[in-house]
Amino acid sequence: MRFVLAVKPFAGRRTAVARSYLDALIAAGLVALFVTTFVVRTFYIPSVSMVPTLQVRDVLLVDELAYRVGSPAQGDIAIFRPPLETSEDYIKRVIGLPGDRIAITNGTVFRNGAALREPYENQPPKYDLSIHGYRIYVNGVALDPHQADIPARSLWPAPNRIPNGYYFVLGDNRNYSDDSHVWGFVQRKRFVGRAFLTLWPLARLHALAT
């Protein structure tokens, strides 16, 4: 009888330990499900528009929570829905924020009058760009507001500054990228997430710095 009484508490403790491990596994599984469903997603690179930072067929991890709790920052590699008739998300680098002045002259990008240092750029853009008169001009020709997202004047803080609630984005491979120099600004609500890690191939595993 003494032997039986000694075993029962031990068996109870073993069951409690097993149950605690099971609870931990269930909790971890629920956290992983939440993270993969609502916080982190993968993104496949289909084009050369972000070379050399991102190569065709790279697989990235994207933080979908970043722009739910904060706003895009200058230098972010952002995923967004472009102002085009497409169901695909795009990936570009955020260059200008609401209220910024952006210009491209002789292959150099200027933000608020200062030349950007862009070690990630594949090659200097072969076009000039300016924002003035409530329009984006590329090589002296204004983007057509019927084909590009150029918001109403009421949203512009000044004729030469990025409208409120809008962003200016460019691909790192400047001369092989459809971006803000083609289809205009990106509205804040169109941003999906911020890419933060190249996951695949393993030889290119690295964090993406702004």
Q: Which residues are catalytic?
A: 49, 92
> How far, in Å, CA of 176 to CA of 165, rounded?
26
180 in Cβ contact with 169 (< 8 Å):
yes
End-to-end CA distance of the chain: 70
Alpha helices in the chain (DSSP H): 2-34, 66-69, 180-183
Burial of 48 (0-12, 13-18, 19+ CB in 10 A): middle
Closest Cα partner for 125 from 106, 138, 141, 142? 106
Instruction: Quote the CA–CA distance of 157 and 165 in Å, as a whole number.
Output: 11
